[in-house]
């Protein structure tokens, strides 16, 4: 079995449970193969030079963790700039929030080039390399330019926008060409594969040279949907642990006379948080029986505070939440509790289990793992109901959730009311189907199916080897 090398913006020690599902999933193969995990150290230096960074390596059991510091200028243009002010908004269809500052692209390329230079000497001939997410799209091209011949796969955790939205990025052609240095491009959903393929067809006259195998820019790439899942067993263990039980019981006690609705997100404009608050307000007006009996708890963890769009979102949300509590609240009932914090991972299952309705309402989302975690945390005998945006990648798999359009405030309020009133047998039936799907397509399935597709990619195709010069 080849050694697995994972590259992602942030890395985690896979031995620590707080690292979360992805680290656990990748950790398993990293451990088995004595693998390497490479990424940013999390440190921003004030005196470093652009394009330079100190490499740190340490062992975490069988796994080598290699990280690089970034200087302020690189971090601001690569991370806050191109990654999170260009790629993140555009890939989530938010051209209105994109900042096409011409200075950002140089930092993005510089950091990817520097990562390639730092990584190359650490590689072995038969390594399999797996690059993650939008921060690192050009990494394979930079590695290939330095002579790297190993198999390299890429997985995009965020959505792919339709071709004309992608084309708004001034460097869109360069960006899409960069994908062709990979052997396999993994996307979250079939909708993403369709957008990716259509862009290449329309903008680069791509030819299909096999099932999900495309030729353009003089090279060939395999593309496929690999919807990411959660670690159901790890989540079940967390759910049975004392911290989750404590959280569950204290929530049930505190809200014993109320129905609890729950939202857990990063505070991000893609997550549809203000839209959810508006729908909740509509629920209270249209269905006044919920006044004094329904409480919405929203936990939104701080995220990318230095990007303007995030500060604006925070202000908007604080205004909306304050208004709802002011207009509807009473001495003995506050309709909404908004908490701007990350909850400890071990508390998440207890919170989810205590909620009669899980509200996952992004305007656009690559997948959304909270939807899957909410389902996995439920008591099968008395499960809560998931209200899920049709614009989350998860909606392709989770058809038994109540699917909503988060732009439709009234429709969402009606659907939340349906969820609150759903009879037990229907809740059980939907939950059971959702659970079967989540279990079948868990994070281990995702990792195994991706890595076996990467192993196969291009094996029957001489041209891709020729393109790589091997
Ligand atoms: P995110 O947008 O960060 O990631 P999402 O899938 O919504 O991801 O959540 C990831 C994890 O963060 C979940 O395990 C969740 O429990 C946790 N989390 C979120 N908010 C939290 C809070 N306030 N407190 C504690 N924990 C919280 C990107 C894409 C997603 C995709 C993932 C994985 O944007 O679409 O699902 O990657 O591929």
CATH number at residue 428: 3.40.50.2000
Q: What is the pLDDT of residue 243?
A: 87
Q: How far is the CA of 201 from the centre of ligand 1 (A)?
A: 32
CA-to-CA separations, 107 to 18, 71, 144, 181, in angstroms, rounded: 31, 11, 20, 20
Answer whether 169 contacts ligand 1 (Cβ < 6 A). Answer: no
Beta strand residue intervals within 370-409, DSSP E: 385-389, 402-404
Q: What is the pLDDT of residue 61?
A: 92
Instruction: Report yes or no: 446 and 25 within 8 Å, Cβ to Cβ.
Output: yes
Torsion (CA) 464, 465, 467, 468 in degrees, nearest 10? 120
State how many domains the chain has: 2
Instruction: Give me the average pLDDT of each 10-residue run along the chain (470 residues).
Output: 94 73 80 94 93 94 96 96 97 97 97 98 97 97 97 98 98 98 98 98 94 95 97 86 87 85 96 98 98 96 85 93 96 94 90 96 97 96 98 98 98 98 98 97 95 89 46
Instruction: Report yes or no: 104 and 77 within 8 Å, Cβ to Cβ.
Output: yes
Q: Which residue has the tokens 């899980």?
A: 358
Q: Whose alpha carbon is nearest atom 15 of ligand 1? A: 370
Pocket test for ligand 1, best of 93, 361, 370 (most atoms within 8 A of CB): 370
Q: What is the pLDDT of residue 17?
A: 61
Instruction: Report yes or no: 119 and 38 within 8 Å, Cβ to Cβ.
Output: yes
Q: How far is the CA of 147 from the centre of ligand 1 (A)?
A: 35
Residues 418, 270 share a domain = yes
Q: Is the dihedral of CA 351, 352, 355, 359 positive or negative?
A: positive
Residues 238, 182 share a domain = no
**Residue numbers annotated as active site:** 157, 365
Residues 310, 179 share a domain = no
Q: Whose alpha carbon is nearest atom 16 of ligand 1? A: 370
CA-to-CA separations, 39 to 58, 82, 163, in angstroms, rounded: 13, 17, 30
Q: How far is the CA of 172 from the centre of ligand 1 (A)?
A: 27
Residues 317, 405 share a domain = yes
Q: What is the pLDDT of residue 467?
A: 45
Q: What is the pLDDT of residue 96?
A: 96
Residues 132, 17 share a domain = yes
Answer whether 200 contacts ligand 1 (Cβ < 6 A). Answer: no
Q: How far is the CA of 365 from the centre of ligand 1 (A)?
A: 10
Q: What is the pLDDT of residue 427?
A: 98
- Tell me the β-bridge partners of 59: 64
Domain of residue 301: give its range. 232-440
Q: Which atom of ligand 1 approaches the CA of 188 most closely?
A: 38
Does residue 465 lie in a domain region? no
Classified as helix, coil or strand, 254 is helix
Residues 452, 434 share a domain = no
Q: What is the pLDDT of residue 461?
A: 64
Q: Which atom of ligand 1 approaches the CA of 299 most closely?
A: 23
Q: How far is the CA of 266 from the centre of ligand 1 (A)?
A: 7
Answer whether 342 contacts ligand 1 (Cβ < 6 A). Answer: yes
């Amino acid at each position: 079995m080849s050694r697995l090398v994972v590259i992602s913006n942030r890395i985690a020690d896979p031995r620590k449970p707080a690292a979360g599902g992805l680290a656990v999933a990748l950790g398993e193969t990293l451990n088995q193969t004595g693998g390497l995990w490479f990424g940013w150290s999390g440190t921003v230096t004030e005196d470093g030079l652009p394009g330079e960074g100190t490499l740190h390596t340490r062992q975490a059991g069988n796994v080598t963790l290699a990280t690089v510091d970034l200087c302020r200028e690189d971090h601001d243009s690569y991370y806050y700039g191109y990654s999170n002010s260009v790629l993140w908004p555009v890939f989530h269809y938010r051209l209105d929030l994109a900042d096409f500052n011409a200075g950002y692209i140089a930092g993005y390329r510089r950091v990817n080039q520097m990562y390639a230079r730092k990584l190359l000497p650490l590689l072995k001939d038969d390594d399999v390399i797996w690059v993650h997410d939008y921060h690192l799209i050009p990494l394979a091209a930079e590695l290939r330019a330095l002579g790297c011949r190993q198999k390299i796969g890429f997985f995009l955790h965020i959505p792919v926008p339709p071709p004309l939205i992608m084309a708004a990025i001034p460097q869109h052609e360069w960006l899409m060409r960069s994908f062709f240095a990979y052997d396999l491009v993994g996307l979250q959903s079939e909708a993403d594969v369709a957008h990716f393929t259509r862009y290449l067809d329309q903008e680069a006259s791509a030819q299909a040279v096999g099932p999900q195998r495309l030729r353009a820019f003089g090279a060939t790439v395999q593309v496929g949907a690999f919807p990411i899942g959660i670690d159901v067993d790890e989540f079940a263990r967390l759910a049975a642990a004392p911290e989750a039980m404590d959280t569950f019981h204290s929530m049930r006690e505190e809200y014993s006379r109320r129905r609890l609705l729950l939202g857990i997100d990063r505070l991000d404009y893609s997550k549809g948080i203000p839209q959810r608050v508006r729908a909740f307000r509509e629920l209270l007006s249209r269905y006044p029986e919920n006044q004094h009996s329904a409480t919405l708890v929203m936990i939104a963890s701080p995220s990318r505070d230095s990007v303007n769009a995030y500060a604006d979102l925070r202000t908007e949300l604080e205004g909306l939440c304050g208004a709802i509590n002011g207009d509807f609240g009473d001495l003995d009932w506050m309709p909404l509790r908004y908490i701007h914090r990350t909850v400890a991972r071990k508390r998440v299952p207890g919170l989810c289990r205590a909620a009669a309705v899980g509200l996952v309402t992004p305007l656009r989302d690559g997948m959304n793992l909270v939807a899957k975690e909410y389902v996995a945390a439920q008591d099968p005998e008395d499960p809560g109901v998931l209200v899920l945006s049709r614009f989350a990648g998860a909606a392709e798999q989770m058809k038994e959730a109540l699917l909503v359009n988060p732009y439709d405030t009234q429709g969402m309020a009606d659907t939340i009311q349906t969820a609150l009133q759903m009879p037990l047998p229907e809740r059980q039936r939907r939950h059971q189907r959702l659970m079967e799907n989540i279990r079948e397509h868990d994070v281990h399935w995702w990792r195994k199916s991706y890595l076996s597709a990467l192993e196969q990619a291009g094996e029957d195709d001489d041209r891709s080897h020729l393109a790589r010069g091997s």
